[in-house]
Structure 1
Amino acid sequence: DSDLAALAEAALAAAQAQHVTVPGEAVAADLARGLAREMLAGRDQLTQIDKNIAAVLDRHPDAALIRSLPGMGATLTAEFLAVTGGIGRFPSGDQLAAAAGLAPVLRQSGRVRYLRRPTAGDKALKRVFYQSAFVAVSCDPTSKAYYRRKRDEGKTHHQAVLALARRRVNVLHAIIRNRTPYQAPNAAVAA
């Protein structure tokens, strides 16, 4: 036992006595310190931008209603309001969905009529609805159930999220039109 303890102490003493310097070590340390400072400054800037966005949203009459929809955080709410300017331009949820490029487009020639995936629409608005649907799948049981149902129907992940995004367009339009915050369907029944 004493031999083992002595060996461990000798190994520790030898390790502490070594001072190996690798070429470029000081330069690498300076670079790492500089990058760390920049990352901390960037984090502080993002925090300040988030505070500014929240302050602006606090003054907007529709912001609290929009943010009540699961998945619509401050950034997505601000983007939605910036892109649309409110829903006054869109008398129905279907028109808002068409503007976002989330509504199928009817193609017809002679007797042939079919719906196809839209290629037009405001990409920023589509991204807002897609991102909010993506987030809602993980935090809202109603959205998660709808997503799961679409996946069970054979849709890919992307198709299921797009279907959820399209559905949420109508929900958001109704929330703003009726001036009523979002309530989960189960919460409305329980109340």
Structure 2
Amino acid sequence: MSLIGKKILPFKASAYNSGNGEFIEVSDENLKDQWSVVCFYPADFTFVCPTELGDLQDQYATLKELGVEVYSVSTDTHFTHKAWHDHSDVISKLEYIMIGDPAQTISRNFDVLDEEAGLAQRGTFIIDPDGIVQAAEINADGIGRDASILIDKIKAAQYVRNNPGEVCPAKWKEGEETLKPSLDLVGKI
């Protein structure tokens, strides 16, 4: 069942704020009134995960410029996130919030929990300021993600939100022509 167009379900969790080194509480309310990226990954102290989280950090400044906050989530605790942050060269550079989901509530809410393993799958979600999922990507454990593709997806989602009646075609880049679905376009693209 797709989460696209659906409101995120309520949650409350402890997190490690990599930006200031503090433990904080995060809930679904934190994801409202702004654009958010929620990036699920299987586990701390692993192999593909730090490459993905480091890549996401490389895009963090651009995402912030677009008004987007980033949250990473695994079924590890916020304590484990801090330990990983303190001991990994890649993870020590993170500036965004790392949510702990040991109760697996958030992973279930986003339908990325591998029940047998008790770990989150590699899921990335773009959430609008109303708490509605606008884009989702879920990869198998062995397939790392490329965070740079989030930039164009978010720009397109923001454009569509701010320009009702218009849509962004494939490979759309900011400033390029959009489409206005109508009877006149049927069969002509």
Please tell me the TM-score bracket, short chain as reference. Answer: under 0.3
With a CA cutoff of 8 Å and minimum separation of 6, indicate the structure with the bigger relative contact order: 2
The structure with more strand, counted as a fraction of residues? 2
TM-score if structure 1 supplies the norm length? 0.27
The structure with more helix, counted as a fraction of residues? 1
Larger Rg: 1
